[in-house]
Amino acid sequence: MESAAEWLLALPPCFTVQREAMIEALRERMGWLVDLVGKETLEVGLAAMAQIPREEFVIPLIEEFAYLPMSLDIGFNQTISHPQLVLK
């Protein structure tokens, strides 16, 4: 598994491409969920995440980290969940 720094360095600056990469990484990592919820349900969840611009939910100072595989500060003492947690 890549470290957060390796993940960030490997992604282009375009948020759309980063979102697509996040979805593909989640599809690979969460494949085990297919046995529990079915492929269609997993794909519906991933499709919803693909439509949501995660960078708009974090504080502007850290928006470049929006697609790191981790929870992030959204201000007001709250965080946006790790993308993988959203699908569980």
pLDDT per residue of the chain (88 residues) written in tens, 0 to 9? 667 667 667 777 799 999 998 899 889 888 888 888 889 988 999 999 999 999 998 888 988 889 888 899 888 899 998 887 765 5
pLDDT at 7: 67
> Residue 56 and residue 67: Cα distance in Å, rounded?
11
| Alpha helices, H only, 1-88 | 4-10, 15-29, 34-37, 39-51, 83-87
> Residue 45 and residue 32: Cα distance in Å, rounded?
14
For the chain, how big is the Rg over CA atoms in Å? 13
pLDDT at 16: 93
